[in-house]
Chain A
Amino acid sequence: NAGVTQTPKFQVLKTGQSMTLQCAQDMNHEYMSWYRQDPGMGLRLIHYSVGAGITDQGEVPNGYNVSRSTTEDFPLRLLSAAPSQTSVYFCASSSRYTIYFGEGSWLTVV
């Protein structure tokens, strides 16, 4: 049972580059979300989706795009990476009362 799988685990980007963080879940959850975690701070919601074809902004959406073409997949796109986007990113799939996090993606923008 894979749960939530996100890739890559580590990535170094140059300022201005674009990339996509992949996320997939096999629990048939309608709800998926992306969080970022910075030192000394909690998890902040970037974008979320309540089902295929439906996405919405969270607390810190600027600089990120998402799409949800299937129930299983919820990729996060950085269009033009900035040093402020250096962070750990967690994809999550959730039922009403439980969040299942992926293992995290460590992103460094230089």
Chain B
Amino acid sequence: GENVEQHPSTLSVQEGDSAVIKCTYSDSASNYFPWYKQELGKRPQLIIDIRSNVGEKKDQRIAVTLNKTAKHFSLHITETQPEDSAVYFCAATLNTNAGKSTFGDGTTLTVKP
């Protein structure tokens, strides 16, 4: 089955700096790659996603890049703010349904004011 590795497990940045989280996946058939943000005690929520026919996608301060050849994708957060502090999960999904995603182990991002 699919295996997703996520790095780093923890990341601390100063407010205003950029943060980058990287994930690799093993199954070349995976074609949908969402990112979730989970605040303490809350449910994970989708923040951005990318499909395999796209190399990059941006939404305000958040961007995701995908390299299908190398089987890795990354989340980029620019101009970080304290409210960006959370756990971020990447996931990889085959062309079936998002509900059968394989998740990375998560990255705890701390933004210091």
Chain A residues at the B interface, C-beta cutoff of 8 Å: 31-33, 35, 40-45, 48, 50, 58-59, 90, 92-99, 101-104
B101 CB to closest chain A CB, in angstroms? 7
- The 9 sampled A-B contact pairs (Cβ below 8 Å) are A31-B97, A42-B89, A42-B104, A45-B102, A92-B99, A99-B34, A99-B44, A101-B45, A104-B43
With an 8 A cutoff between CB atoms, is B98 at the interface? yes
Which residue on B lies nearest to A92, using beta carbons?
Answer: B99
CA distance A95 to B49 in the complex (A): 14
Q: Do A98 and B9 have beta carbons less than 8 Å apart? A: no
- Chain A residues lying within 8 Å of B106, measured Cβ to Cβ, are 40-42
Which residue on A lies nearest to B100, using beta carbons?
Answer: A48
- Chain B residues lying within 8 Å of A96, measured Cβ to Cβ, are 97-98
- Which B91-112 residues sit within 8 Å CB-CB of chain A? 91, 97-106
